[in-house]
């Protein structure tokens, strides 16, 4: 009986914390779907409106920002998959002089991310004439040490017999990679893909340094300009704009919650 | 023949590595060396080229009050965010790993802030802290308190950002604990129950020790993270008032892109990199030890 009481108390605490954690987002939704005068006035009979969304959409070029973010995120992901797969394959299944040193040099990028090197990376981009282009936003992240590391671990766990069987059938190295390793590493690709997409979708510091025009600016940078107090837009419109910007990732998270959480778990167990 | 295949395999391996190696050298190793080099030179301006000044930038840094303030802010920010968010993360993980009704909803609620971009979070929380019309002030005045400019007061600005950051980060650290909890064999729990051990006793003597490696991992990751987190400053405070909320990485950004003093920004970057390197090496040593234990 007593045990039951403590359980209920604990559950209540867990739910309260969950409510507290959900509150800011729910509050933004409340603010976005009601007229301005109800922003801090919680009246369940308040009229619903989509006016804030319309105004936000018209105040900032969200369609353009979406396109920029989409191009930046997808280009980065595809390039990461290709570059990291090749490097991980080399580290997992090939012997060559200096391999261990090379691997250590890759791991350096795990602690030094491009964000910390904004000054020099900006200079490099400007000498390559890439400032204010979409590829520039993703380029420093493509040879991702984390991706190489994760895929190398996965490739190493794949039994050698499978590779030998494929080689007996006359498959080339590239054929082995594409027919044996890549298909078997699918869960890792999914996990890495989700982590990469959510990281780059939310990335801000490097994009704000490297972009300066509407045609390249991603959602986060656009949202920062839109939401800055100087822009003079009021809260319901900012809330609506913010929700527009986070919607794709948020909706996919709610739909594929399990995969998201598991991919972050997998990413955590390095 | 055999030697030939060996060499061709080696060449093949190197070729596979080549694209990644080029990118890593170009955007990680070369910039690090260049940053180090720049920190010993003056900032080139117009036609005047950078001149070698030895450690002058570093001695300037020692006398720069803003640098010390920013470093101090960053220490307060780390000390304020890390213990609370890690403790909350552990509690959250224990809850969503147990027999909690509506568990998947609770887990989603805890984890949702992780999915949101910091910029979006800052947009929403900025409104909470706005004087008079903001939600915090509404609640405070309703309870009879006085209206306050939360982000405009050097005394309250960092605590405000710390609270927001705890909200943003706790769910992310929860994931690591959840993974570790699920790796604990259920037989241990059964054995403890047979022995008549209480839940609290079991937690203190079995779960917590088993979670120690994860705790260390999370702690060090959280510390590294707290030196990288600056997005919210762009919207909420711009490091103000009076640098009261500025953090190291934000200061580097300001020095480099507002004052265009790239040499000094490089010097600051070296300090940041040294800090992160120490933390990362600590992490590496501890994780090595964890591997030895198993």
Fold for B58-290, please state it.
Answer: MetI-like fold (1.10.3720)
pLDDT digits (tens, 9 = 90+) for B138-164: 888 888 888 888 998 999 999 999 999
In terms of residue numbers, what domain contains A68? 48-267
What pLDDT, on the 0 to 100 scale, is given for residue A2? Answer: 54
Chain B residues with CB under 8 Å of A264 CB are 114, 172, 175
Q: Does A99 touch chain B (CB under 8 A)?
A: yes
Is position A89 within any domain? yes
Contacts with B214 (C-beta within 8 Å, 6 or more apart), sequence order? B176, B177, B179, B180
CA distance A200 to chain B (A): 10
Pull the structure tokens for residue B62.
Answer: 């020692």
Across the interface, whether the CB atoms of A242 and B124 are under 8 A apart is answered yes
Closest by CA to B19, choosing from A90, A212, A209, is A90
CATH number, domain with residue A168: 1.10.3720.10
Return per-residue pLDDT of chain B as tens, 294 residues: 567 778 888 898 899 999 999 999 999 999 999 999 999 998 888 778 888 888 999 999 999 999 999 999 999 999 999 999 999 999 999 999 988 888 889 999 999 999 999 999 999 999 889 888 788 888 888 888 888 889 989 999 999 999 999 999 999 999 999 989 988 888 887 888 888 778 888 888 888 888 988 888 899 889 989 999 999 999 999 987 889 999 999 999 999 999 999 999 999 999 999 998 888 888 778 766 665 444
Q: Does A201 touch chain B (CB under 8 A)?
A: yes
Q: Please state the separation of Cα B219 from the chain's center in Å.
A: 10
Across the interface, whether the CB atoms of B19 and A143 are under 8 A apart is answered yes
Is position A43 within any domain? no
* HSE of A143, CA atoms in CB hemisphere, 13 A: 24
Domain ranges of chain B: 58-290
What pLDDT, on the 0 to 100 scale, is given for residue B249? Answer: 95
What is the rounded CA–CA span in Å between residue A180 and residue A87? 16
Choose among A22, A143, A220: nearest Cβ to B109. Answer: A22
Q: How many CB pairs under 8 A join A and B?
A: 249
What is the rounded CA–CA span in Å between residue B206 and residue B185? 11
Is position A250 within any domain? yes
- pTM summary value: 0.90
CA dihedral sign of residues A234, A236, A237, A241: positive
Q: What ipTM does the predicted assembly reach? A: 0.89
Across the interface, whether the CB atoms of B106 and A15 are under 8 A apart is answered yes
Chain A residues with CB under 8 Å of B26 CB are 124
Choose among A11, A22, A265: nearest Cβ to B112. Answer: A22
What pLDDT, on the 0 to 100 scale, is given for residue A47? Answer: 81
Is position A222 within any domain? yes
| SS3 assignment, position B41 | strand
pLDDT digits (tens, 9 = 90+) for A229-246: 676 678 889 999 999 999
Number of domains into which chain A is organized: 1
Q: Which residues pair with B52 in a beta bridge?
A: B41
User: Do residues B118 and B231 lie in contact, with contact meaning Cβ atoms separated by under 8 Å?
Assistant: yes
What is the rounded CA–CA span in Å between residue A23 and residue A17? 10
CA distance B98 to chain A (A): 10
Chain B residues with CB under 8 Å of A102 CB are 17, 21
Is position A161 within any domain? yes
Choose among B113, B179, B231: nearest Cβ to A268. Answer: B179
What is the rounded CA–CA span in Å between residue A75 and residue A95? 31
Across the interface, whether the CB atoms of B111 and A261 are under 8 A apart is answered yes
């Amino acid at each position: 009986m007593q045990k039951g009481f403590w359980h209920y108390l604990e559950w209540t605490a867990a739910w309260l914390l969950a409510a507290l954690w959900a509150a800011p987002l729910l509050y933004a939704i409340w603010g976005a779907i009601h007229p301005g005068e109800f922003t801090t006035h919680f009246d369940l009979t308040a009229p619903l409106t989509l006016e804030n969304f319309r105004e936000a959409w018209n105040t900032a070029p969200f369609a353009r920002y979406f396109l920029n973010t989409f191009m930046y995120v997808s280009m980065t992901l595809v390039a990461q998959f290709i570059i990291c797969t090749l490097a991980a394959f080399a580290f997992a299944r090939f012997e060559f002089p200096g391999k261990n040193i090379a691997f250590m040099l890759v791991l350096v990028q795990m602690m030094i991310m491009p964000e910390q090197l904004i000054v020099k990376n900006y200079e490099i981009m400007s000498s390559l004439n890439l400032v204010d282009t979409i590829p520039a936003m993703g380029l420093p992240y493509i040879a991702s040490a984390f991706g190489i590391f994760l895929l190398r671990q996965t490739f190493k766990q794949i039994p050698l017999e499978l590779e030998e069987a494929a080689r007996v059938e006359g498959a080339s190295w590239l054929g082995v990679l594409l027919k044996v390793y890549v298909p078997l590493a699918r869960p890792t690709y999914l996990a890495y893909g989700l982590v990469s997409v959510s990281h780059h979708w939310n990335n801000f510091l490097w994009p704000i340094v490297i972009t300066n025009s509407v045609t390249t600016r991603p959602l986060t940078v656009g949202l920062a300009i839109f939401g800055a107090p100087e822009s003079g837009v009021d809260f319901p419109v900012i809330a609506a704009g913010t929700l527009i910007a986070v919607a794709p990732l948020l909706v996919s998270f709610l739909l594929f919650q399990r995969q998201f959480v598991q991919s972050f778990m997998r990413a955590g167990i390095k | 023949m055999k030697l030939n295949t060996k060499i061709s395999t080696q060449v093949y391996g190197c070729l596979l590595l080549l694209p990644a190696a080029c990118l890593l050298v170009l955007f990680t190793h070369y910039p690090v060396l260049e940053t180090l080099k720049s920190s010993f030179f003056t900032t080139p301006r117009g036609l005047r080229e950078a001149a070698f000044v030895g450690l002058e930038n570093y001695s300037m840094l020692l006398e720069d009050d803003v640098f010390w303030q920013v470093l101090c802010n960053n220490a307060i920010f780390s000390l304020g965010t890390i213990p609370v968010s890690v403790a909350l993360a552990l509690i959250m993980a224990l809850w969503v790993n147990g027999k909690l009704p509506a568990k998947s909803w609770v887990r989603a609620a805890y984890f949702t802030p992780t999915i949101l971009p910091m910029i979006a979070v800052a947009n929403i929380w900025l409104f909470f802290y706005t004087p008079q019309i903001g939600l915090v002030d509404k609640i405070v005045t309703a309870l009879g308190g006085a209206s306050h400019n939360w982000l405009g007061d050097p005394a309250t600005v960092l605590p405000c950002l710390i609270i927001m950051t705890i909200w943003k980060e706790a769910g992310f650290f929860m994931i690591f604990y959840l993974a570790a909890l699920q790796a604990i064999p259920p037989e241990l729990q059964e054995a403890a129950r047979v022995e008549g051990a209480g839940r609290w006793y079991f937690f203190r003597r079995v779960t917590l020790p088993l979670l120690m490696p994860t705790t260390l991992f999370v702690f060090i990751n959280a510390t590294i993270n707290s030196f990288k987190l600056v997005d919210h400053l762009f919207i909420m405070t711009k490091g103000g008032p009076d640098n009261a909320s500025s953090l190291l990485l934000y200061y580097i950004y300001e020095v480099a892109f507002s004052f265009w003093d790239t040499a000094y920004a490089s010097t600051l970057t070296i300090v940041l990199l040294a800090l992160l390197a120490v933390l990362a090496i600590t992490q590496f040593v501890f994780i090595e030890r964890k591997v030895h234990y198993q």
